[in-house]
Amino acid sequence: MNAPAPKTSLCFLLAAKRCEMADLQQLAQTSGLVRRTAALIHELQRERGLSNLYAASLGQAFVAERRLQLARSDAASTALRAGFDTLDTAPPRHGARLYSRIAFALHGLETLPRLRLEVEGLRAPPASLTAAYTRLIASLLAVVFEAADTATDLALSRRLVALFHLMQGKELAGQERATGSAMLATGRADGDAQQRLLHLIESQDRCLQVFETFADEEILALWQASRSAPLQADIERLRRQLCNTPPGQPLDSQRSATWFDTCSQRMDEMRQVEERLTDSLVEQCQSRLRRVADEMHEIQALQARLDGDASALDDHAAAPLFHAPDPAAPNPAPPIGLALEKSVLELVQDQATRLQALSAELETVRASLNERKLIERAKGLLMAHQQLSEEAAHKALRDLAMRQNKRMVDVAEAVLSMASLLSPRN
């Protein structure tokens, strides 16, 4: 029985391309889910705002608008569930963390009908409704975060990081819309709500700065073009009225619709950029898949040429096939062995160089996500052990960083390292 032929460098290079193809196919499927997730989040954000206005007006305002929005949210939810149904869970291919995020998001969607009944029956204050919708949206954003955190292609990873931070900034803008709408609808300034607004505005700016860092030129140009100067001025004017009115003093409740519409216009502009970014992500996935397929065909063709010339190489072992051509010969053509050897070497070197550069740059991209994880964990620790709100925990980390002239992520690491020393307040 003949022994199997030894594997060549092309065999392993082709195996590497197959792995790359499999990773890209998974990422393409995940990117499609990200696009549907972003669409549902946008609808739920609007549903949250309208539900706040409905509840704050004791069911007297925005009745028809809210009913129409429920139908839009349901349509987007159905589309996302259909996308989840396409995932192969036996055996799983996308990793435990992504599937866990999806499971949590689906559980949140299953609680949505009960939340809507709470709104209909006016059985919960606007702040509680906002918190419930925000938790649901956070579970969906976690799916996008997981996709960004596991991407292995540099260009796609940068797009996913940019998309996640744009979506997070837009979600904070949605919370700002809901919080301001509820306060205006009650007709009175509230100190806690004002502090929350200030926290949301600061957090938005931070997320959008990260988005701008990772977005490509096309998306940045669209982002700048979408930011209407008059609209920005209106937003700032309304923010000042909401945040600077002394607590307990009256607010013009008639301006709740103006605030909601102005914030909605801003979020719709952000949604346009978000849509283009999700579309470009899917397009880039398909482009990369085509490129890798072409590279695989090139390797396979080269392997076929080597297989076809195997007898010639055997007949001329240690001879002229791998020697330099005669320089005196007119238009000397390189021997087939030299040409194939050079082709193989170029392919291997190109793959190694690209993977090395990819690994280095991915570390930079992942650093942004890892910093976010550390800060969120440190905030959670302070909230649990010191009975702080999210805003207060964030402010404590920020103030400590400013006093020590350190980055927030460095302070977060220090807080996490002292976890065992933290004790609840009396």
Query: Is the separation of the CB atoms in 320 and 56 below 8 Å?
Result: no
Tell whether 355 is covered by a domain.
no
Residues 270 and 369 in one domain: no
Q: Regarding predicted confidence, which is higher, 210 or 313?
A: 210
Give the residue from 237, 253, 280 where a domain finishes. 280
Q: What confidence score (pLDDT) does residue 185 get?
A: 82
Structure confidence by residue, pLDDT tens digits, 383-407:
777 777 777 777 777 777 777 777 7
Structure confidence by residue, pLDDT tens digits, 194-212:
988 998 998 898 889 889 9
Structure confidence by residue, pLDDT tens digits, 91-109:
655 577 888 889 999 999 9
Give the residue from 248, 280, 312 where a domain finishes. 280
Residues 165 and 70 in one domain: yes
pLDDT band at 46 (very low <50, low <70, confident <90, very high): very high
SS3 101: helix
Of 118-127, 151-160, 356-365, the poorest mean pLDDT is in 356-365
Residues 38 and 129 in one domain: yes
Distance separating alpha carbons of residues 317 and 110, to the nearest angstrom: 70
Task: Share the mean pLDDT of the chain.
Answer: 80
As a whole number, mean pLDDT of residues 363-373 equals 66
Tell whether 156 is covered by a domain.
yes
As a whole number, mean pLDDT of residues 350-372 equals 59
As a whole number, mean pLDDT of residues 344-371 equals 58
Query: Is the separation of the CB atoms in 385 and 347 below 8 Å?
Result: no
- Domain CATH code at residue 386: 1.10.10.10
Tell whether 367 is covered by a domain.
yes
Residues 264 and 373 in one domain: no
Q: What confidence score (pLDDT) does residue 336 get?
A: 39
Distance separating alpha carbons of residues 366 and 364, to the nearest angstrom: 6
The domain in which residue 406 lies consists of 362-426
Percent of the chain residues past pLDDT 70, beyond the cut: 80
Residues 276 and 379 in one domain: no
Tell whether 296 is covered by a domain.
no
Residues 69 and 193 in one domain: yes
Residues 260 and 403 in one domain: no
Give the residue from 258, 280, 302 where a domain finishes. 280
Residues 176 and 64 in one domain: yes
Q: What confidence score (pLDDT) does residue 353 get?
A: 58
Q: How many CB atoms lie within 10 A of CB 143?
A: 23
Tell whether 404 is covered by a domain.
yes
pTM: 0.74
Residues 253 and 115 in one domain: yes
Q: What confidence score (pLDDT) does residue 321 get?
A: 35
The answer to whether residue 148 scores a pLDDT higher than 90 is no
Tell whether 58 is covered by a domain.
yes
Q: What confidence score (pLDDT) does residue 401 get?
A: 76
- The number of distinct structural domains making up the chain is 2
Tell whether 348 is covered by a domain.
no
Please tell me the chain's helix, strand, coil percentages from 3-state DSSP, rounded to the nearest 5: 80, 0, 20
As a whole number, mean pLDDT of residues 147-173 equals 83
Residues 160 and 30 in one domain: yes
As a whole number, mean pLDDT of residues 30-57 equals 91
Residues 254 and 396 in one domain: no
Residues 393 and 272 in one domain: no
The answer to whether residue 355 scores a pLDDT higher than 80 is no
Tell whether 15 is covered by a domain.
no
